[in-house]
Amino acid sequence: MQAFTTLNGLVAPMDRANVDTDAIIPKQFLKSIKRTGYGPFLFDEWRYEDHGEPEMDCTNRPKRGDFILNQARYQGAQILLARENFGCGSSREHAPWAIVDYGFSCVIAPSFADIFYNNCFKNGILPIVLDDAQMDTLFDACAATEGFSLSIDLPAQTVSLPSGQVLSFEVDDFRKHCLLNGLDDIGLTLQNADIIRNYEATRIQTAPWLF
Amino acid sequence: MAKTLFEKVWDQHVVSKNDDGSVLLYIDRQLVHEVTSPQAFEGLRIAKRKPWRVNASVATPDHNVPTTNREQGITDPVSRTQVEALDANCEEFGITEFGLGDIRQGVVHVMGPEQGLILPGMTVVCGDSHTSTHGAFAAIAMGIGTSEVEHVLATQCLIQKQPKTMRIRVEGDLPAGITGKDVALYIIGEIGTAGGTGYAVEFAGSAIRMLSMEARMTLCNMTIEAGARCGMVAVDDMTIDYVKGRPFAPKADAWDRAVTAWSELHSDADAVFDKELLFKAENIAPQLSWGTSPEMVLPITASVPNPEDARDDVQKEGWIRALTYMGLEAGTALQDISIDKAFIGSCTNGRIEDFREAAEMVKGKTVAANVKLAMAVPGSGLVKQQAEAEGIDEIFRQAGFEWRDPGCSMCLAMNADRLEPEERCASTSNRNFEGRQGLGGRTHLVSPAMAAAAAIAGHFVDIRDWV
C-alpha cells in the first residue's frame, strides 16, 4: 500500500450530502477482477453523458459540463471536499480504488459511512473529518479561489489553508501508523498467530459447534 | 456487570486488545460471493498465504448470475469471467461453494441462514454491506471491504474498534399488513441514513418479538441503510426453531449445549446503551420511498413532499435533486404514482415468507396493462423449490409475473435485469440510489405485498384496503 505522510494538493468540491458508493463507481465496473483501472469511471453516471462499460476508452466520451470534476480548474485535484455521510451504501472497495486511481488521496467531509471510511485506510487514502463550520469555510474558499490547495500533514494531524489558518483532525493511532508506513495489516496480524491459535484452542472447548 | 447483547457477543470474540483501544476480533463465519472476493484471493496468492481456517468460509455466486435461461450459461463474458474466477478460487483454496448448478445457490444472505451457516452468537462477515441481515440471529454481522475479506481469509480475524450501542424498541402490535420492511423503512425515515453511524443497533420491544425470523432478517438487513455497523435481535424460541435441523446447524449433544449457551444471548435487564429510541408500532403504515435515498420515505397515505419544507439547505438541495431525478412533483399523492416494472426479491425480501405475502396480493388477478415487466426472483434455489411446492410460482405466472432463477437480479442490476432510463419500479430491494437499478431508473422501495399490489393496480396502493 502507498504510504501517506504529507500532501500539498489541489482541492475539488463535491457539494452534496449522502454520496453513495453506487454513484462513486456504478455496478457494471464491479465485474472486474482487478484492483486498478477504475479511475476513468469514477462518478461515471454524473461525469459522462453516455452509458459507461468496463474496459471502455473514456478519452472521447461526451462529458457533462455541469459536473464539478469536468471543470478545467479542478483537473489534477488530489483532495476532495464532501458533505455528510460520504461513501454510504454498498461496501464495494471499488469505490476507494476508483478514488485513488483517479488521483485523489485525501477526502475531507463532516462524516463518512463506516465501511467506506475503513476501506480508505486500506488503500492509502486519508479520510479527514472536520465539523460543518470548518467544511463551509473550505467550500467557500475553494469556490472563491481558482487553484485553491490545501496542505495535509498526517504526522501533525493538521490541514493548513493558504490563509495560514490551521485545522486539526482526529485519527486512530493504529490507522495512522499503518497509513504513515504503508503497512500491510495482514502481516501485522499474522505476527499474533500464536495468540489467535490460543484463542481458538480455548474457544473450541466452550463453543465446539463453531468449529 | 450488566451487558448488552452486542457486548456479550463482542467480548466472546476479542482475541487481543491494542493500545489504541482497537481489538483483534475473531470471525466465526465468512460468506463469499464473486464480486468482492477475486482481488482478495489474488492478494493471498501474491503473498503466498493460505486461508487460516478453510471451513469458516462458504461461497456462492449471486450478484452477476442470470435469472433466466441458465442452461445457456452466462452470456456476458465479463460476468462469466467473474463467476468462473469464484469457482476456480474456491477450488484452489478448498472453500465450499454452492455453484450455479446447485439447488443451494442463491443470494448469499438468503443461502447462509437457510443452510444453518449462521448461528446465534457468531461473528459473521461478508464483502457485502447487507451482511447486517444475520444480526437477526443475535450474531454480530458486518459488511466489509475486499481488503478485509482477504484479512479474514488469511487470519480469521479483523482489527476493529468497538462501536457504541443503540437500542431501538418498537412497542405494541403492528397493524395488519405491516411487515418487517415497513418497520425498517419507517425507522430509517425517522433517524436518517446516517442515524446509526458508529453504532451497533439492537432491535427490541414487543413488536420485534412478534416478527418472524424472515421479517427480522429484513429488518436487520436494512440496518446498514441507517448507517449502523450492524443490527441485532436477541435469541428467543423463534430463533432456535429456525436454526434447528438445518444442514450446518449443530446436532445431538452439541445442539443441546449450543441451545443452553444461546439462551444467554439477550441484553441484561439493567444493561446500559449509549442511545435508546422508542417507536410505537401502531404508528407504522405501509411505507414507500419517494426519493433517491432510503430516508426519503413516507407512509402510502402521504404525498410527495415539498422542498420548501426541508429542515435545512443541504436537505432542500437533496430533495430538489431527488424530485427531478424521480420525475415527481411536490404534492402528488403517492397512490397516484404509476409504475413500469415491479421487482420482488433480493437479500432484503427474497425469502419464502416474502413470496407468500406477495402471492396473496396477486392470486386470481392480472398485472396491469401499463406494467411492462413484473418479476418474482426467489432468493435461493431452495426458496424457489419451496414456493413451487406450494404452487406460488403458478399464482405469479397466471397473474403475468415472470418467475425467475435465484440471484441478486434487479436489486443492483449487475446482470441483465435492469431498468431503462426513466422507468419507474416498485421494488422490494434495499436501495433507491440514482442509477441503482439501471442508469436513469427510478426505484420506489416497498414491502413484497406493496410491490405485488402495485403491479396489479398499475400504481401504488394502500394494501390495507386490499386485505
The percent of residues above 70 in pLDDT, for chain B, comes to 100
Tens of pLDDT, residues B337-391: 999 999 999 999 999 999 999 999 999 999 999 999 999 999 999 999 999 999 9
Taking CA atoms, A51 is separated from A28, A62, B41, B433, B454, in Å, by 10, 10, 30, 17, 29
Could you tell me if B303 and B333 are in contact, meaning their C-beta atoms sit under 8 angstroms apart?
Answer: yes
Could you tell me if B467 and B450 are in contact, meaning their C-beta atoms sit under 8 angstroms apart?
Answer: no
Residue A164: CB partners within 8 Å, gap ≥ 6?
A: none
Mean pLDDT, chain B, whole residue set: 97
User: Is B314 a residue whose pLDDT tops 90?
Assistant: no
Cα within 13 Å of Cα(B371), Cβ side = 29
Contact B431 A22 (CB under 8 A): yes
Contact B122 A18 (CB under 8 A): no
DSSP H or E stretch at residue B124: strand B123-126
CA angle A168, A169, A175 (to 5 degrees): 140
Contact A91 B143 (CB under 8 A): yes
pLDDT top residue among A11 and A174 = A11
- CA-to-CA distance for B262 and B266, rounded, in angstroms? 9
Could you identify the residue written with the cell 434455489? B381
The nearest CA of chain A is from the CA of B352 a distance in Å of: 25
Inform me whether the C-beta atom of residue A91 falls under 8 Å from chain B C-beta atoms. yes
Nearest CA in chain A to B413: A27
Contact B155 A189 (CB under 8 A): yes
- Dihedral class, residue B157 (left if φ above 0, else alpha if ψ from -120 to 50, else beta): beta
pLDDT interval class at A1 (50, 70, 90): confident
Which A residues 129-168 touch B at CB under 8 Å? none
Tens of pLDDT, residues B179-217: 999 999 999 999 999 999 999 999 999 999 999 999 999
Tens of pLDDT, residues A27-69: 999 999 999 999 999 999 999 999 999 989 999 999 999 999 9
- CA-to-CA distance for B153 and B35, rounded, in angstroms? 16
The nearest CA of chain B is from the CA of A153 a distance in Å of: 20
**Cell triple for residue A197?**
491459535
The nearest CA of chain A is from the CA of B155 a distance in Å of: 7
CA dihedral sign, ordered A3, A9, A15, A21: negative
- CA-to-CA distance for B85 and B89, rounded, in angstroms? 6
Q: Pick B193's closest partner by Cβ from A18, A83, A189.
A: A18
Contact A31 B119 (CB under 8 A): no
Could you tell me if B441 and B435 are in contact, meaning their C-beta atoms sit under 8 angstroms apart?
Answer: yes
Q: For A6-180, give the CATH class.
A: alpha beta
Q: How much is the average pLDDT of B100-128? A: 98
Neighbours of A176 (CB within 10 A): 18
Contact A91 B128 (CB under 8 A): yes
Q: Pick B194's closest partner by Cβ from A85, A190, A208.
A: A85
Nearest C-alpha neighbor of A187 from the set B143, B161, B48, B127: B48
Q: Pick A199's closest partner by Cβ from B15, B21, B163.
A: B15
Neighbours of B272 (CB within 10 A): 14
The nearest CA of chain B is from the CA of A85 a distance in Å of: 6
Q: Pick B79's closest partner by Cβ from A31, A93, A206.
A: A31
Contact B439 A119 (CB under 8 A): no
pLDDT at residue B65, as a whole number: 95
The percent of residues above 90 in pLDDT, for chain A, comes to 96
Contact A16 B318 (CB under 8 A): yes
Contact A173 B20 (CB under 8 A): yes
Inform me whether the C-beta atom of residue A200 falls under 8 Å from chain B C-beta atoms. yes
Q: How much is the average pLDDT of B236-241? A: 98
Tens of pLDDT, residues B244-258: 999 999 999 999 999
For the entire predicted model, the pTM comes to 0.97
Residues from chain A that touch B257, judged by Cβ atoms under 8 A, are: 208-209
CA dihedral sign, ordered B133, B137, B143, B148: negative
How would you list the strands of the sheet with B123-126, edge to edge?
Answer: B96-97, B57-59, B29-32, B123-126, B140-143
Cα within 13 Å of Cα(B192), Cβ side = 10
Contact B22 A174 (CB under 8 A): yes
**Cell triple for residue A202?**
480455548
pLDDT at residue B466, as a whole number: 86
Q: Pick B36's closest partner by Cβ from A92, A200, A208.
A: A92
Residues from chain B that touch A54, judged by Cβ atoms under 8 A, are: 78
H helix intervals, chain A: 21-24, 44-47, 94-102, 114-121, 132-144, 173-181, 185-190, 193-206
Contact A22 B412 (CB under 8 A): yes
Residues from chain A that touch B15, judged by Cβ atoms under 8 A, are: 192, 195-196, 199
- CA-to-CA distance for B346 and B368, rounded, in angstroms? 23
Tens of pLDDT, residues B28-38: 999 999 999 99
Contact B63 A113 (CB under 8 A): no
pLDDT at residue B19, as a whole number: 85
Grouping H, G, I as helix, E, B as strand and the rest as coil, residue B299 is strand
ipTM value, please give it: 0.95
The nearest CA of chain A is from the CA of B393 a distance in Å of: 29
CA dihedral sign, ordered A87, B39, B81, B87: negative
Count interface pairs A-B at CB distance under 8 A. Answer: 184
Could you tell me if B452 and B339 are in contact, meaning their C-beta atoms sit under 8 angstroms apart?
Answer: no
Q: Pick B16's closest partner by Cβ from A115, A185, A195.
A: A195
Determine how β-strand A79-81 pairs with β-strand B123-126: unpaired
Q: How much is the average pLDDT of A143-172? A: 97
Could you tell me if B220 and B129 are in contact, meaning their C-beta atoms sit under 8 angstroms apart?
Answer: no
User: Is B467 a residue whose pLDDT tops 80?
Assistant: no
Tens of pLDDT, residues B144-166: 999 999 999 999 999 999 999 99
The nearest CA of chain B is from the CA of A34 a distance in Å of: 6
Inform me whether the C-beta atom of residue A123 falls under 8 Å from chain B C-beta atoms. yes
Residues from chain B that touch A186, judged by Cβ atoms under 8 A, are: 43, 47, 49, 150-151, 154-155
Q: What is the DSSP letter of A73?
A: G
CATH 3.20.19.10 boundaries in chain A? 6-180
- CA-to-CA distance for B285 and B196, rounded, in angstroms? 22
Residues from chain A that touch B294, judged by Cβ atoms under 8 A, are: none
Contact B24 A192 (CB under 8 A): yes
